[in-house]
């Protein structure tokens, strides 16, 4: 793995992302997107060999491409609705990867909760806050994109450099799952034995969040412009 | 094999971070935190599946489930707050709220 | 040894409470202020407590004489002190025996004839182990006949002044002035301070009283503090006194320094008794040092040349305060202190000479200045300086008993004159300029009558109080040196002249009134005139305690001789009298001084009897009169020589402080301030900026971790 190529790729990706951010100084969004997608594709092609002799290597590369491209679009798309839909794409890709990792129950839960519950809430709020006449002004321009992107990519380089430095030897051999029991049974047993307190606390957390959300949402706000209850 | 998942997780996490810092829409910002969660879930489960010490574990998946619950709670509260803020100022721009300073 | 009970009428512990009564009164008034009681009632605690003190003092005068006679061990003196009237048992060379030899005078060994009362242990001296050795400065009172004389007239005159103040501090409708209760509280404190000073049995307690008196004078001179001139006068009095007190404090330090090595265990080197006992074992230079430093304090407190400048300005206070300061509680302190320390002063002829020279300068200067003033109270103030200078001359000539005699008589007539001037001022709407009114004798008959007695006494008119005491001082000064005597006589004539200049300008001539006096000025209320009459009686008769009725060729007018009960009474105290000091002059001198006094009064009558509008002296004397009127430009000289350079120094220090030191601090603080100003921009309240900062921080941490990993291999 030539590190120079890796650095160039990351730099390219960062530059492309910077250009693709909404409200970038140069109106070259499409071109930047193409550069970005190319960089992402090369990156995935780099990742694919890491999958090595694994039988799911192709699937993994595909899912990774979907996830990364989806994530890019989530943060670059000027319309929140599209961002949310791209995020759905990311969820599905991650779910797929979880299946590849034999975490079938978690994958199902992810899809159900995110796609089914959380994203619907997001959609509601986005629709609620939507106004006619194209994207809102604050959606059209990013905030300090250069320093944000640069920081992010330096961090990415630091993290991935460490991973790639270790090479394919990182991590042990894939453990064979215990065929006798299904994944859901195993996870359930683990949750209700070792993490039973955590489960209880999570339940309380959800309850509190529900009560809090209701309380906050029911509060009447005084708008500064109108100075009266709404 | 593990390295591939770690790279993807890192990518998702960093993209979420960049989005959180640069986007000027409260909803997108919280969406970006969800993005970062995805990277983390991927990390946790991958480490459980390809353990460094050779003993596979389900702890990663258990944590992933907790993470889901927390994400759900966070989404409910954060969105409620966003709705409230939106009602106050009629905008989703976080920069109109600059109360976190000493004056 | 007789039992103590038989020697004193009242227990000594009871006398020890004397100073604290006025303090109690002041505290009661303070509580009344705190409780917002009516101001009109504020006089009674002070009057009552000062009256208690005065009554105690009257009894104490007898007991102090007994104690002194008893403790000094001289049976002859004891009997003399008790039945002195008509007896001349002292082996003093009397005025008539002018041929008595002068020559070198060796002081007799110091006696310690008083009783020391220890109130409580106050300050521990030296190292811890000395606590067992009894090395304490205790709060001690020292009772002897000198204490008796002083406390007697101090409390009596104070009582009169306090009673007078009840009426004086009110307007024409009888409503109390603003600060009425404050005034009385300060008066009580003043009397307490002076009584402490007089009773003090060691130098530390003396210093405490000394400073308390200074504080009270500051408070009372600045009583009308919204007036800038009053505030300035108060500050001036305090600061000039501080200059003297600095020397006084150094004197006390040097006493401790020099006497300490001589003392044995259990002896406090600051107790009067111990100091006086060991004083002759000191080197002459040491004694002179101590004497000059103590004198420095006395010059400030008793307003002597060159530290007299505060006293005329002290007229800014209410008139009763002036009376109190001039007669009883302030300026007498210096004379008292020198008399008390006469074992020290008598041991150094050099210091005595200095005292005489300063006294003569002060007497002549102040008398001439008094001749060219128009402010009634200022004339009296310069006269006080002049009279105090007389006392200093007496002290310096080795006749401290005469000095004390003059303090005592002076207290009566000077208090009387000030209270009389206050009465005039009160009725003239606070105008005291002699050019603005005249012929007040018809409007203020009681004031006029009593003032006349006071003026005669001050002028040294024969048979009144001032004559006797002044005459003794003149005698002593002739014995010291004829030139000093001549100057004293000249001053006496001038005193008569300016006193009656003031009197005639005020009470004689056509009746003129200032506009401020209102339509119908009238005599002051009785609460003011009665103290005037009491003091007038004192001014007339107080001197007879110091003379002896005896016939013979050497008697004045055939039946009076100098020296009487007072001198016998004082004889046993710590006062050391040069027995030759009273030998100077002769009977002719008494007649001469009487003649000069009458001559001065007559001259004043000729020139001022009709209260002319233009001062005749200013025409006759011309330039000289202008210099006197301008007070020899001493204030201006001090201003140029000391005040301005010091103020310049102060400005310089201020500038250095403001620009140099503050600038340095500003530079030092500029670094963090600049950093803060820079960092403040980051804290802009926007959440995403903080998130970005967090991201940068995490990135930096990961980079550091990678770098350390790479470095660690």
For residue range C116-172, list pLDDT tens digits in order: 888 887 777 665 554 445 567 778 888 888 888 899 999 999 999 999 988 888 877
- Which regions of chain A are under pLDDT 50? 1, 228-230
Q: Collect all residues of chain C within an 8 Å Cβ-Cβ radius of residue A154.
A: 699, 703
Same domain, yes or no, for C677 and C547?
A: no
Phi, psi of A35 (to 5 degrees): -60, -45
- Cβ burial of C332 (10 Å; 0-12, 13-18, 19+) is buried
Pairwise CB contact (< 8 Å): B17 & C695: yes
Domain boundary residue, one of A128, A144, A169: A169
Residue C654 neighbours by CB under 8 Å, 6+ apart: none
Q: Note the pLDDT tens digit of each residue in C572-614.
A: 777 777 777 676 557 788 888 889 999 999 998 888 888 787 7
pLDDT of residue A164: 75
User: Which 3 state secondary structure label does DSSP give B55?
Assistant: coil
Q: Could you list the residue range(s) of the whole structural domain that residue A190 is in?
A: 181-220
Same domain, yes or no, for A31 and A145?
A: yes
Do C158 and C147 form a contact (C-beta atoms < 8 A)? no
Stronger pLDDT, A34 or C54, i.e. the higher one? C54
Q: Which of C688, C702, C709 sits opposite A159 (nearest CB)?
A: C702
Nearest CA in chain C to A156: C699
pLDDT of residue A179: 58
pLDDT of residue C95: 36
Q: Which of B20, B24, B98 sits opposite C685 (nearest CB)?
A: B98
Question: What distance in Å separates residue B27's CA from the closest CA in chain C?
Answer: 13
Assess C691–B contact: CB distance below 8 Å, yes or no. Answer: yes
Interface test with B, best of C686, C695, C698 (most B CBs within 10 A): C686
pLDDT of residue C4: 45
| pLDDT of C110 over the 80 cut | no
User: What is the DSSP pairing of strand C560-562 with strand C547-549?
Assistant: antiparallel
A225 belongs to a structural domain: no
pLDDT of residue A199: 92
Query: Is residue C563 left, alpha or beta, with left meaning phi > 0 and alpha meaning psi from -120 to 50?
Result: left
Find the helix packing angle between C43-72 and C20-34, rounded to 10°. 170
Domain locations along chain B:
2-102
Same domain, yes or no, for A12 and A98?
A: yes
Q: Which residues of B touch C (CB under 8 A)?
A: 17, 20-22, 24, 29, 94-95, 97-102
Same domain, yes or no, for A192 and A159?
A: no
Q: Could you give the residue ranges of the DSSP H alpha helices within C481-586?
A: 482-507, 526-541, 565-571
Same domain, yes or no, for A116 and A155?
A: yes
Pairwise CB contact (< 8 Å): C685 & B100: yes
- The residue assigned the tokens 């000059």 is C292
Domain boundary residue, one of A147, A169, A191: A169
Could you give the CA distance from residue C537 to residue C514 in angstroms, rounded to a whole number?
31
Do B45 and A103 form a contact (C-beta atoms < 8 A)? yes
Pairwise CB contact (< 8 Å): B90 & A223: yes
Q: Collect all residues of chain C within an 8 Å Cβ-Cβ radius of residue A149.
A: none
Domain B2-102 of CATH type 1.10.287.3510: yes
Could you give the CA distance from residue B64 to residue B66 in angstroms, rounded to a whole number?
5
User: Global pTM?
Assistant: 0.66
Neighbouring CB atoms inside 10 A of B50's CB total 21
Q: Collect all residues of chain C within an 8 Å Cβ-Cβ radius of residue B95.
A: 686, 688
Residue A75 structure tokens: 């943060």
**Arithmetic mean of pLDDT, C210-227:** 90
Same domain, yes or no, for A93 and A185?
A: no
User: Which 3 state secondary structure label does DSSP give C460?
Assistant: coil
Give the single-character DSSP code of C517: G
Q: Note the pLDDT tens digit of each residue in B29-87.
A: 999 999 999 999 999 998 888 887 777 788 889 999 999 999 989 888 988 888 888 88
Chains in contact with A via at least 3 Cβ–Cβ pairs below 8 Å: B, C
**Nearest C-alpha neighbor of C638 from the set C204, C236, C120, C214:** C236
Assess C174–B contact: CB distance below 8 Å, yes or no. Answer: no
Domain count of chain A? 2
Question: What distance in Å separates residue A73's CA from the closest CA in chain C?
Answer: 20
Terminal CA-CA length for chain B:
53
Residue A3 structure tokens: 């590190």
pLDDT of residue C131: 47
Residue C649 neighbours by CB under 8 Å, 6+ apart: none
Nearest CA in chain A to B94: A138
pLDDT of residue A24: 58
Same domain, yes or no, for C56 and C205?
A: yes
**Percent of chain C's residues with pLDDT above 90:** 23
Residue C482 structure tokens: 């004829």
**Nearest C-alpha neighbor of A21 from the set A81, A79, A77, A85:** A77
Q: Collect all residues of chain A within an 8 Å Cβ-Cβ radius of residue C703.
A: 154, 158
pLDDT-derived band at C100 (thresholds 50, 70, 90) equals: very low
Could you give the CA distance from residue A153 to residue C403 in angstroms, rounded to a whole number?
102
Neighbouring CB atoms inside 10 A of A19's CB total 22
pLDDT of residue A200: 93
Assess A156–C contact: CB distance below 8 Å, yes or no. Answer: no
Q: Collect all residues of chain C within an 8 Å Cβ-Cβ radius of residue B101.
A: 683-685
User: Which 3 state secondary structure label does DSSP give C143?
Assistant: strand
Q: Collect all residues of chain B within an 8 Å Cβ-Cβ radius of residue C683.
A: 101-102
Pairwise CB contact (< 8 Å): C695 & A148: yes
Q: How many CB pairs under 8 A join A and C?
A: 24
DSSP lists the bridge partners of residue C120 as C139
Interface test with A, best of C706, C710, C712 (most A CBs within 10 A): C706
Assess C690–B contact: CB distance below 8 Å, yes or no. Answer: yes
Q: Collect all residues of chain B within an 8 Å Cβ-Cβ radius of residue C687.
A: 94, 97, 100
Give the single-character DSSP code of C549: E
pLDDT of residue B5: 87
Could you give the CA distance from residue C293 to residue C248 in angstroms, rounded to a whole number?
6
Q: Could you list the residue range(s) of the whole structural domain that residue C484 is in?
A: 348-628
Q: Does an H or E element contain C122, and which?
A: strand C115-124
pLDDT of residue C553: 65
Same domain, yes or no, for C264 and C310?
A: yes
Least confident of B89-98, C91-100, C415-424, C512-521: C91-100
Same domain, yes or no, for A52 and A115?
A: yes
Same domain, yes or no, for C437 and C557?
A: yes
Q: Collect all residues of chain C within an 8 Å Cβ-Cβ radius of residue A144.
A: 692
Q: Collect all residues of chain A within an 8 Å Cβ-Cβ radius of residue C708.
A: none
Could you give the CA distance from residue B40 to residue C357 in angstroms, rounded to a whole number?
103
Do C432 and C502 form a contact (C-beta atoms < 8 A)? no
Residue C116 structure tokens: 């020391």
Domain boundary residue, one of C279, C312, C347: C347
Cis peptide before C638 (omega within 30 of 0): no
Give the single-character DSSP code of A116: I
Same domain, yes or no, for C379 and C267?
A: no
| pLDDT of C657 over the 70 cut | yes
Q: Note the pLDDT tens digit of each residue in C313-369.
A: 888 888 888 888 888 888 899 999 999 888 888 888 889 999 999 999 999 999 998
Length of chain C: 713
Same domain, yes or no, for C219 and C354?
A: no
Same domain, yes or no, for C713 and C664?
A: no
Assess A148–C contact: CB distance below 8 Å, yes or no. Answer: yes
Same domain, yes or no, for A57 and A150?
A: yes
Q: Collect all residues of chain B within an 8 Å Cβ-Cβ radius of residue A152.
A: 14-15, 17-18, 21
- Cβ burial of A220 (10 Å; 0-12, 13-18, 19+) is exposed
Nearest CA in chain A to C690: A148
Question: What distance in Å separates residue C665's CA from the closest CA in chain B?
Answer: 26
Phi, psi of C4 (to 5 degrees): -65, -35
**Nearest C-alpha neighbor of C344 from the set C275, C420, C432:** C275
Q: Collect all residues of chain C within an 8 Å Cβ-Cβ radius of residue A163.
A: none
* Alpha-carbon dihedral angle through residues A108, A114, A118, A119, given to the nearest 10 degrees: -130
Could you give the CA distance from residue C116 to residue C142 in angstroms, rounded to a whole number?
5
pLDDT of residue C172: 74
**Nearest C-alpha neighbor of C373 from the set C449, C327, C321, C311:** C311
Could you give the CA distance from residue C492 to residue C494 in angstroms, rounded to a whole number?
5
- The residue assigned the tokens 């000062």 is C50
Chains in contact with C via at least 3 Cβ–Cβ pairs below 8 Å: A, B
Could you give the CA distance from residue A126 to residue A118 in angstroms, rounded to a whole number?
12
pLDDT-derived band at C82 (thresholds 50, 70, 90) equals: very low
Helix/strand/coil (H/E/C) assignment for every residue in C55-121: HHHHHHHHHHHHHHHHHHCCHHHHHHHHCCCCCCCCCCCCCCCCCCCCCCCCCCCCCCCCEEEEEEE
Same domain, yes or no, for A187 and A164?
A: no
**Nearest C-alpha neighbor of A145 from the set C631, C82, B20:** B20
pLDDT of residue C684: 80
Could you give the CA distance from residue C474 to residue C481 in angstroms, rounded to a whole number?
10
Phi, psi of C100 (to 5 degrees): -60, 145
Nearest CA in chain B to A62: B8
Do C195 and C18 form a contact (C-beta atoms < 8 A)? yes
Please, which residues 428-457 of chain C have a Cβ atom closer than 8 Å to chain B? none
**Percent of chain C's residues with pLDDT above 70:** 89
Could you give the CA distance from residue C471 to residue C592 in angstroms, rounded to a whole number?
10
Same domain, yes or no, for A96 and A189?
A: no
Same domain, yes or no, for A164 and A198?
A: no
Query: In Å, how far from its chain's centre is CA A129?
Result: 23
Same domain, yes or no, for C442 and C533?
A: yes
Length of chain A: 230
Average pLDDT of chain C, as a whole number: 83
Pairwise CB contact (< 8 Å): A151 & B11: no
Pairwise CB contact (< 8 Å): A216 & B28: no
Residue C237 structure tokens: 């009095």
Q: Collect all residues of chain B within an 8 Å Cβ-Cβ radius of residue A112.
A: none
Pairwise CB contact (< 8 Å): A158 & C706: yes
**Arithmetic mean of pLDDT, B17-24:** 91
Same domain, yes or no, for C564 and C619?
A: yes
Domain count of chain C? 4
Do C461 and C598 form a contact (C-beta atoms < 8 A)? yes
Q: Note the pLDDT tens digit of each residue in C393-442.
A: 999 888 888 889 999 999 998 999 999 998 888 888 888 888 888 888 88
Could you give the CA distance from residue A174 to residue B5 in angstroms, rounded to a whole number?
13
A176 belongs to a structural domain: no
Question: What distance in Å separates residue C672's CA from the closest CA in chain A?
Answer: 27
Residue C491 structure tokens: 């001053």
Same domain, yes or no, for A185 and A81?
A: no
DSSP lists the bridge partners of residue C202 as C271
Residue C671 structure tokens: 């670094």
Stronger pLDDT, C240 or C518, i.e. the higher one? C240
Pairwise CB contact (< 8 Å): B68 & A109: yes
Same domain, yes or no, for A76 and A134?
A: yes
- CATH code: domain of residue A136: 1.20.120.1200
A226 belongs to a structural domain: no
Q: Which of A143, A144, A154 sits opposite C699 (nearest CB)?
A: A154
Pairwise CB contact (< 8 Å): B3 & A50: yes
């Amino acid at each position: 793995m030539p590190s120079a190529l890796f650095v160039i790729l990351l730099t390219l990706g960062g530059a492309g992302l910077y250009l693709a951010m909404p409200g970038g100084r140069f109106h070259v969004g499409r071109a930047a997107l193409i550069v970005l997608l190319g960089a992402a594709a090369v990156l995935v092609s780099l990742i694919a060999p890491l999958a090595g002799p694994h039988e799911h290597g192709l699937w993994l590369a595909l899912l990774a491409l979907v996830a990364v491209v989806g994530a890019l679009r989530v943060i670059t798309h000027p319309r929140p609705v599209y961002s949310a839909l791209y995020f759905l794409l990311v969820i599905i890709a991650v779910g797929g990867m979880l299946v590849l990792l034999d975490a079938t129950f978690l994958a199902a839960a992810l899809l159900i909760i995110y796609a089914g519950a959380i994203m619907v809430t997001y959609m509601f709020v986005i629709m609620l806050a939507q106004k006619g006449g194209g994207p809102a002004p604050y959606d059209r321009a990013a905030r300090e994109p250069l320093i944000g992107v640069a920081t992010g990519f330096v961090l990415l380089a630091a993290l991935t450099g460490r991973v790639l430095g270790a090479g394919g030897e990182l991590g042990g051999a894939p453990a064979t799952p215990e065929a006798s029991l299904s994944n859901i049974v195993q996870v359930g047993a683990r949750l209700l034995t070792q993490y039973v307190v955590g489960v209880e606390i999570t339940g309380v957390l959800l309850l509190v969040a529900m009560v809090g959300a209701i309380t906050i949402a029911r509060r009447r706000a005084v708008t500064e412009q109108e100075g009266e209850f709404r | 094999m593990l390295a591939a998942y770690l790279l993807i997780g890192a990518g998702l996490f960093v993209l979420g971070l960049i989005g959180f810092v640069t986007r000027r829409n409260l909803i997108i910002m919280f969406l970006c935190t969800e993005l970062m969660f995805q990277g983390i879930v991927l990390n946790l489960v991958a480490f459980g599946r390809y353990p460094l010490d050779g003993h596979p574990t389900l702890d990663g998946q258990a944590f992933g489930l907790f993470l889901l619950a927390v994400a759900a709670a966070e989404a409910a509260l954060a969105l409620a707050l966003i709705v409230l803020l939106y009602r106050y100022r009629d905008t989703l721009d976080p920069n109109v709220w600059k109360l976190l300073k000493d004056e | 040894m007789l039992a103590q009970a038989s020697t004193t009428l009242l227990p000594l512990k009871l006398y020890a409470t004397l100073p604290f009564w006025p303090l109690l009164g002041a505290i009661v008034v303070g509580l009344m202020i705190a409780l917002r009681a009516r101001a009109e009632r504020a006089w009674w605690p002070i009057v009552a407590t000062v009256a208690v003190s005065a009554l105690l003092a009257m009894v104490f005068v007898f007991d102090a004489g007994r104690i002194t006679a008893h403790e000094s061990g001289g049976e002859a003196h004891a009997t003399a002190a008790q039945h002195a009237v008509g007896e001349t048992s002292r082996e003093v060379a009397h005025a008539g025996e002018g041929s008595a030899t002068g020559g070198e005078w060796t002081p007799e060994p110091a006696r310690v004839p008083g009783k020391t009362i220890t109130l409580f242990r106050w300050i521990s001296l030296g190292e811890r182990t000395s606590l067992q050795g009894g090395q304490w400065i205790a709060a001690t009172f020292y009772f002897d006949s000198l204490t008796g004389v002083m406390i007697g007239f101090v409390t009596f005159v104070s009582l009169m002044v306090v009673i007078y103040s009840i009426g004086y501090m009110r307007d024409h409708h009888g409503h109390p002035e603003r600060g009425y209760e404050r005034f009385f509280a300060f008066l009580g404190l003043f009397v307490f301070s002076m009584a402490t000073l007089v009773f003090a049995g060691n130098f530390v307690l003396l210093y405490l009283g000394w400073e308390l008196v200074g504080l009270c004078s500051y408070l009372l001179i600045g009583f009308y503090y919204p007036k800038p001139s009053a505030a300035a006068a108060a500050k001036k009095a305090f600061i000039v006194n501080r200059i003297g007190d600095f020397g006084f404090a150094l004197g006390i330090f040097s006493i401790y320094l020099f006497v300490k090595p001589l003392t044995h265990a259990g002896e406090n080197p600051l107790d009067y008794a111990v100091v006086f006992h060991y004083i002759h074992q000191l080197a002459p230079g040491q004694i002179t040092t101590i004497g000059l430093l103590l004198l420095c304090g006395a010059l400030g407190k008793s307003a002597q040349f060159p530290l007299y400048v505060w006293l005329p300005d002290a007229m800014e206070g209410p008139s009763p305060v002036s009376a109190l300061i001039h007669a009883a509680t302030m300026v007498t302190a210096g004379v008292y202190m020198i008399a008390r320390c006469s074992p020290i002063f008598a041991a150094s002829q050099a210091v005595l000479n200095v005292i005489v020279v300063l006294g003569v300068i002060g007497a002549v200067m102040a008398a001439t200045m008094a001749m060219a003033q128009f402010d009634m109270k200022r004339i009296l103030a310069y006269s006080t300086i002049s009279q105090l200078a007389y006392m200093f001359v007496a002290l310096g000539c080795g006749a401290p008993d005469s000095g004390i005699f003059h303090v005592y008589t002076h207290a009566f007539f000077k208090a009387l004159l000030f209270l009389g001037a206050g009465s005039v001022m009160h009725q003239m709407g606070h105008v005291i300029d002699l050019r603005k009114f005249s012929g007040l004798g018809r409007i203020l008959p009681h004031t006029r009558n009593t003032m006349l007695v006071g003026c005669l006494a001050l002028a040294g008119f024969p048979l009144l109080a001032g004559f006797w005491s002044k005459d003794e001082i003149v005698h002593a000064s002739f014995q010291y040196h004829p030139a000093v005597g001549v100057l004293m006589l000249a001053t006496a004539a001038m005193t008569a002249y300016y006193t009656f200049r003031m009197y005639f300008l005020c009470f004689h001539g056509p009746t003129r009134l200032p506009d401020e006096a209102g339509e119908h000025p009238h005599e002051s209320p009785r609460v003011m005139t009665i103290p005037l009459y009491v003091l007038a009686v004192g001014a007339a008769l107080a001197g007879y305690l110091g003379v002896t009725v005896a016939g013979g060729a050497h008697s004045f007018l055939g039946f009076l001789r100098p020296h009487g009960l007072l001198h016998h009474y004082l004889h046993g105290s710590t006062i050391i009298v040069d027995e030759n000091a009273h030998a100077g002059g002769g009977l002719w001198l008494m007649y001469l001084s009487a003649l000069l006094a009458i001559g001065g009064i007559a001259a004043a009558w000729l020139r001022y009897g009709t209260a002319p509008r233009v001062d005749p002296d200013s025409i006759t004397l011309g330039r000289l009169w202008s210099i006197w009127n301008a007070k020899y430009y001493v204030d201006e000289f001090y201003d140029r020589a000391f005040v301005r350079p010091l103020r310049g120094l102060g400005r310089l220090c201020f500038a250095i402080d403001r620009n140099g030191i503050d600038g340095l601090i500003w530079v030092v603080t500029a670094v963090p301030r600049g950093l803060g100003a820079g960092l403040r921009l980051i804290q802009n309240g926007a959440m995403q900026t903080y998130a970005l900062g967090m991201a940068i921080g995490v990135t930096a941490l990961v980079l550091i971790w990678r770098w350390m990993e790479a470095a660690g291999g």
